[in-house]
Structure 1
Amino acid sequence: MQLDELYAEKLGLLLRLRDEERVTWEGRFRPPLHGAEANPRPSRDLPVRVAVGGTPGSVERAGRLGLPMALGLIGGSVDHTERLVDVYRKAGRAAGHPDEKLTVGLTSHFYVGETQEQALEEFYPFYRRYLAPETNTGRGWRVGRDEMAAMTARHGALMVGDPGHIIAKILDLKSEPGVDRFLGQVDIGGMPPEMVRASIERFGDLVAPSVRHVLAS
């Protein structure tokens, strides 16, 4: 609970420093401010996105503040995401914010391979290492190949597969939960640079243009 209160306090202070030239403020977790000003001030409105891990309380807070939300999806299915986006937008509308302010970004682990089978085969050892207890000072877990493959299915959390599969999954995010922005975590578990580079190139050359074309039409 204290971590949540700390986050809320720091976020509130950040928004005041963004919106006001001079801020007098007092809170619980840091020394007070007296006529403080951000220096240098940004030349335009500073965009602030709220990153949330999936708890309804944090999602609702982002909506209530009318801030764009970035939702981390590391497990489960898109169905869970759809429920959270609904909570976010309902909270935002109840607070009087217009729909155009209530935008949603989603981030997921990401790899684009040449074929579906090759993508799963190449990605699995690095994903397993990334989640392993040895990598996370005992707090991780061991993921099986079948478990990972299930999460790469059409409505699963992992954005891993061939270009056509990734295109379909990104378009699903736009049409079903209404996600406005996708962010892919492209380098995990000690992937070699050439593997990361190839994934980014396939995304840039094949996935992104196709997604833009479908959305534009």
Structure 2
Amino acid sequence: MDISQRKRTLLKVIVLGDSGVGKTSLMNQYVYKKYSPQYKATIGADFVTKEVQVDDKLVTLQIWDTAGQERFQSLGAAFYRGADCCVLVYDVNIPKTFETLNNWHDEFLKQANPNDPEVFPFVLVGNKIDIDGVNSRMVSEKKAREWCASRGNIPYFETSAKEGYNVDVAFLCAAKTALENEHQQIIYFPGISETVSETEQRSTCAC
């Protein structure tokens, strides 16, 4: 069977975190391999899609970037419903963005209302590790991993959206954990060409 005629799995991934942590930059680096310091703050919500292959499955990732501003958080329920994985992002150089992770985590579960909140897949990303040669870093990797352990051993990645470091592997891990989510939807795309990169085919997730 031609690869374009095979079933694909549609996975909805929500990216959450305070405004300015680099959510949009991470998404654009992952999908378009581009970085720009001029990205404007997300208003409400926006999404991008990317075709990837995880093991023997063709996956269409629908990645949603929701605004970090409080005035848009009331939109959460509409955008979070049906999510298969949530990627939480903070800036390793700004402690406040780490301290609000509990709020983002708990509010997501409240708004998304998954069948089994205890096992819903999350991935934590500590972004902007490239800044000032890590000299400005304020949140240690140990502290982040302890937080992940306290939340059910959430997979953790440190990234640089600017340099592209660990961006692919973090989102591929999100895709892999999302595949285990019972809310996955099987869809059929006739005639869409495959666009999986060699890097994505080789990448593995240590989740």
Name the larger-Rg structure: 1
Relative to the length of structure 2, the TM-score reads: 0.39
